[in-house]
Amino acid sequence: FKLGLDWTFLKEFQTINGDGVVSDALGFTSSFGGFPRQKASLSLAWNYGDWSANWDVKYVHALNEEGCTNASVALNECSNPGTANADGSTGLNHMGAWFTHNVQVGYHVESWNTDFSFGIRNLFDKLPPAAPNTAFANTYLPALYPVVPGRFFYGRVSVKF
């Protein structure tokens, strides 16, 4: 067995606009993604002879999205529409923490120098939190949640020569 943990804590993140105004961006989204206080990846790998299996969990801490649009308020996609923000906009959308689980099983055929594997990304079909006010051309932020929304099955054959 092999256990791995990669956990990142962001203590501070500030932005400066064109007028030189400094804003705290920690815990907020942007059109480029966002700056969560914590992100983590936990993995467990197992090997026995020609067989292998992997399980990993990805975690992104909760975020807030400033500046709710009229459309997002009308569609009930803004959790706190009356909040006044530092940038002059109104509305604050809370996006909860997100976990996803990925699994894979593999088999190695030594005589062919080949590996066969099958896996499932986003095993429990957990959708990333919606970011209707900052996401471009989608309702989630792919820079933070690097999965296609929904469960994804895959198979792979790797040959070494």
**Residue 143's pLDDT is what?**
77
The percent of residues above 70 in pLDDT, for the chain, comes to 94
Q: How far apart are CA 115 and CA 134, in angstroms?
A: 41
Which residue type does 128 have?
P
Residues 6 or more apart whose CB falls under 8 angstroms from that of 56 comprise: 41, 42, 43, 44, 101, 102
Over residues 108-122, the pLDDT tens digits come to 999 999 999 999 999
- The CA-CA-CA angle for residues 50, 114, 147, to 5°, reads 90
Of 131, 22, 152, the C-alpha closest to 87 is 22
For residue 57, name the pLDDT band (cuts at 50, 70, 90). Answer: very high
Residues 76 and 93: beta-carbon distance below 8 Å:
no
**Which position has the token pair 């079909």?**
125
Lowest mean pLDDT among 20-34, 37-51, 113-127, 146-160: 20-34
Residue 155's φ and ψ, nearest 5 degrees, are: -130, 150
Number of helices (H) and strands (E), helices first, in the chain?
1, 13
Quickly count: other Cβ atoms within 10 Å of residue 146's Cβ: 12
Q: How far apart are CA 110 and CA 50, in angstroms?
A: 8
Distances (CA, A) of 119 to 55, 69, 76, 116, 141: 10, 39, 36, 10, 24
